Amino acid sequence: MTEEMVEKESGAKDMQKIKIEQHTFMGCAWFGAWLFTIGYLHLSFWRGVLAIVIWPYYIGVHLSALVR
């Protein structure tokens, strides 16, 4: 068997490339900003947990208003 026949049989030419993206830097920056906000505002533990849920919502609302 030639190399071309092996590639055709295995479907090697039809395979799609998979691109893996890592967003570690932005995740760490977001987490650091969240910790800074909790420390700056002197929030208690439960208010800090609440902030992790509410803070992204308000940022999204604010940014979506800027896009319009």
- Total count of domains within the chain: 1
pTM beyond 0.85, yes or no: no
**Domain assignment of residue 50, yes or no:** yes
Provide the domain limits for residue 65.
43-68
38-65 pLDDT per residue, tens: 889 898 889 888 888 887 888 888 888 8
**Domain assignment of residue 65, yes or no:** yes
**Domain assignment of residue 19, yes or no:** no
**Domain assignment of residue 52, yes or no:** yes
What DSSP designation does 14 have? G
Q: Give the up-direction half-sphere exposure of residue 42: CA atoms within 13 A in the CB hemisphere.
A: 0
Q: How confident is the model at residue 18 (pLDDT cuts 50, 70, 90)?
A: confident
Q: What single-letter amino acid sits at 36?
A: F
